[in-house]
Amino acid sequence: MKQVRPIDVHKEVKSFIDFPHDLYKSDPNYVPELYVAQRDLLTPGKHPFHDHSKVQLFLASDGKVTTGRIAAILNNNHNAFSNSSDGFFGFFDCINDQETADMLFGAAEKWLKENGANTIIGPENFSTNETLGLLIEGFDSPPVVMMPYNAPYYRQLLEKAGFKKKIDLLAYDVPYDTHNDRSVKLLDTLEERLRRRNIVIRKISMKSFWEDAKKARDVYNEAWGDNLGFVPMTEKEFHHMAKDLKMILNPDFCLIAEQEGKFVGFALGVPDINQIQIKIKRGRLLPFGIFKLLTGMKKIDRLRVMILGVVDGYRKSGIEACLYGTIIKNARKNNIKGAECSWMLEDNYLMNNAIEQINGVVYKKYRIFEKSI
């Protein structure tokens, strides 16, 4: 008998996390998330998202077999910031069965409506500051770090359940083997132009990491403030994310545009640790996963440029191209052979054009869906 039931995260988080490992066990492009990171994200008291918002997890089953999962998310900070009554869903995974999918969405929609939401949006795990989007194009390669993956049939499950497109997110592939991109060729000229305005591009200081990181957060909140679904990170959320990223951070790929002590631009690229995680069975670091993680870091040859922003008043001045060009130059000396720039809103023409100028090509698309409830 098919059923969907709410679960207590403290008692059944393992079953919730492990379901996609079984669902995708024969898919060569599936990358298991690290178990400890997923457990902490989902558990109140371990991740600061739960300080201000509510989450309810659901599992679907047919008899004794788990067939799907979903999280219903009420992001109170989002609704306060955007003056809305939105609900969200995330962590959606399901067998290829419309009835099961409908039951999962129905359970999430009912819970959200009972908590005051009039719209359901997703997938978002939990917000635009984390993993989001449903893969709709580009199923022939694994996802990069902190990007989602799903089977092609998911799109049909959502559309038949009444969901419509809200917006698409783009992932660009940028090869570094051509050596003919304009940003690197023009880097000296761009840097000189910026210096005349007392703007310099520099690496983040690991000695003053938290001081630099706090200023970078201010740039992030200002530069992304008008983007769809943006929610400013709380102090605790920022600290939690920065602490995690610091463990894999290479200063060559974390760049700051600074004018007389004021941060006016920021770019962050991180090594694609999914090249290692894809080999870690069921996302467990013990007993052998941690060895694979530690020994594999030096073999990573791809990068994800996950954040690049310039504050209003400094855009279209060459800072964007200079940040990209510097990352590319630094990538080559680190034996990086290519990168993904993601995610980009499909209507962010300024940033998308900048990526295309350095030979970036859209190779994956992700969709955010919505539905009235």
Q: Read off the tokens for 357.
A: 């100028």
Q: Which fold has domain 174-365?
A: Aminopeptidase (3.40.630)
Kindly state the percentage of the chain with pLDDT values over 90: 62
Of 280 and 330, which is predicted with more confidence?
330
pLDDT > 60? residue 247: yes
pLDDT > 50? residue 180: no
- Per-residue pLDDT tens over the stretch 265-295: 999 999 999 998 888 777 765 444 554 666 6
pLDDT at 5: 98
Of 14 and 188, which is predicted with more confidence?
14
Cis amide linkage into residue 16, ω under 30° from 0: no
Say if residues 273 and 289 touch (Cβ distance below 8 Å). Answer: no
Q: Select the highest-mean-pLDDT range: 44-53, 185-194, 346-355.
A: 44-53
pLDDT-derived band at 179, boundaries 50, 70, 90: very low
Kindly state the percentage of the chain with pLDDT values over 70: 94
CA distance 263 to 255: 10
Q: Read off the tokens for 160.
A: 């038949």
Beta bridge partners of 301: none
Q: Which fold has domain 2-170?
A: Aminopeptidase (3.40.630)
User: Whose CA is closest to 255, among 187, 316, 174, 301?
Assistant: 187
pTM: 0.92
pLDDT-derived band at 331, boundaries 50, 70, 90: confident
Domain segments of the chain as ranges: 2-170, 174-365
- How does the average pLDDT of the chain come out, rounded? 90
Q: Select the highest-mean-pLDDT range: 163-172, 193-202, 207-216, 339-348.
A: 163-172
H or E element: which one contains 162?
none
pLDDT at 182: 59
Q: What DSSP assignment string belongs to 74-139?
A: E-HHHHHHHT--EEEEEEEEE-S-HHHHHHHHHHHHHHHHHTT-SEEEE-EESSTTSEE-EEEE-T
Q: Map tokens 């371990």 to a residue.
A: 46
